[in-house]
Amino acid sequence: MAMTIKNQAEIDKMRAAGRLVGEIHVRLAAIIAPGVTTAELDRLAADVLAEHGATSSFLGYRGYPATICTSVNDEIVHGIPGPRRLREGDIVSIDVGAILDGYHGDSAWTYPVGAVSEEAARLLRDTEAALDLAIAAARIGNRLGAVGAAVERFAIPRGFGVIREYGGHGIGRQMHEDPHVPNHGRPERGPILRPGLTLAIEPMLTTGGEATRELADGWTVVTADHSLAAHFEHTVAVGPEGGIILTERPIGVVH
Ligand code: MF3
Ligand code: CO
């Protein structure tokens, strides 16, 4: 799907969809604990979407069977919610996409379940830092390659694997629009980032290698070496000082 340029009214609609995605994350984070099933997380996300008259970006997409994606430990992305119970020490990557008023918001976050290992905590901290750097690089006038270069240059010297077989994407009326947004590359490559371009930026790092495998369910992507994986994603509009986050977590949401 082609690269689309949005006007301010469209970006405002994407911010509304994104804010709902952020609210869903806040509400999921509040119930993540040992013993909770990933299906329970999916149900809560579906309920909040319905409360707002929104729908899931993922449910039914190429036959995807759930509202959100829940990927545990060595699962990188596209884990399908089900009866699995989270355990103390797990990490769970939750990917949420919402369609509101015709526009998508898409954001993922990896959460610790109870106390996690120092290795897991460092992976989470540094994958979030890689996302922050990638967003800062999503600046009008930069080339797209600056985004992936920022991830790679931060992650590789710190000993992490960078997932190269999956990446971010343009987003708008469609969940996946051009361009593909790799988490690696060179800053002088790719199209120039222009005002009105909206991107889902989503680094995926591992504590081991970079090879992936897809499970027999046809969706779940795991690390080939079963090392831990983390995934942090925001939807942004490129701006003069870097990406403007459209999927902020609202503060002060009380339910
Ligand atoms: N955020 C993910 C992506 O950008 C979620 C896709 S899950 C799917 O690809 F089921 F919709 F494919
Ligand atoms: Co995405």
Task: Give me the residues near ligand 2 (ion), CB cutoff below 5 Å.
Answer: 106, 200
Mean pLDDT of 201-207: 99
Q: What total number of domains does the chain contain? A: 1
pLDDT at 253: 54
User: Distance, CA 211 to ligand 2 centroid (Å)?
Assistant: 20
Mutational test site, ligand 1, from 24, 56, 58, max ligand atoms within 8 Å of CB: 58
Q: Say if 24 falls within a structural domain.
A: yes
Question: Among candidates 248, 195, 255, 224, which has minimal Cα distance to 76?
Answer: 224
Does residue 252 lie within any of the structural domains? no
Q: Express each pLDDT in 72-105 by its tens digit.
A: 999 999 999 999 999 999 999 999 999 999 999 9
* Ligand nearest the Cα atom of residue 76: 1
pLDDT of 252: 64
Q: Which residues line ligand 1 (CB under 6 A)?
A: 58, 61, 64, 69, 78, 95, 97, 106, 169, 200
250 alpha carbon to ligand 1 midpoint, in Å? 22
Atom of ligand 1 nearest to the CA of 200: 4
Over range 170-182, report the average pLDDT: 98
Q: What is the pLDDT of residue 85?
A: 98
40 and 88 in contact (C-beta within 8 Å)? no
pTM for the full predicted model = 0.97
Q: Which atom of ligand 1 is nearest to the CA of 175?
A: 4
Q: Is residue 254 part of a domain?
A: no
* Nearest protein CA to atom 8 of ligand 1, as residue: 58
- Locate the ligand 1 atom nearest the alpha carbon of residue 78 and give its number: 7
Q: Give residue 104 CA to ligand 2 midpoint distance, Å.
A: 10
Q: Sign of dihedral through CA atoms 38, 44, 47, 48?
A: negative
Residue 255 resides in a domain: no
Question: pLDDT digit string (tens) for 107-160?
Answer: 999 999 999 999 999 999 999 999 999 999 999 999 999 999 999 999 999 999
Measured at the CA of 247, the angle between CA 242 and CA 250, to 5 degrees, comes to 115
CATH code (residue 60): 3.90.230.10
Q: From the CA of 68, which ligand is nearest?
A: 1
Domain that holds residue 99: 8-245
Q: If you write DSSP's letter for every residue of the chain in order, what string do you get?
A: -------HHHHHHHHHHHHHHHHHHHHHHTT--TT-BHHHHHHHHHHHHHHTT-EESSTTGGG--SSSEEEETTEEE-PPP-SPBP-TT-EEEEEEEEEETTEEEEEEEEEE-SS--HHHHHHHHHHHHHHHHHHHH-BTTSBTHHHHHHHHHHHGGGT-EE--S--EEE-SSSSSEEEEE-SS--TT-SPBP-TT-EEEE--EEESS---EEE-TTSS-EEETT---EEE-BEEEE-BBTBPEESSPPPSS---
- Does residue 80 fall inside a structural domain? yes
For residue 13, is it within any domain?
A: yes
**Residue 155 belongs to a domain:** yes
Q: Which of 1, 24, 57, 59 should be mutated for ligand 1, with most atoms under 8 A from CB?
A: 57
In a domain, 198, yes or no: yes
pLDDT (tens digit per residue) in 223-255: 999 999 999 999 999 999 999 999 999 986 544
Ligand 1 atom at shortest distance from the alpha carbon of 168: 4
Q: What is the pLDDT of residues 1-48, one digit of tens each?
A: 679 999 999 999 999 999 999 999 999 999 999 999 999 999 999 999
Q: Which residue has tokens 């991830």?
A: 151
163-178 per-residue burial string, b: 16 or more CB within 10 A, e: under 16: bbebbbbbbbebbbbe
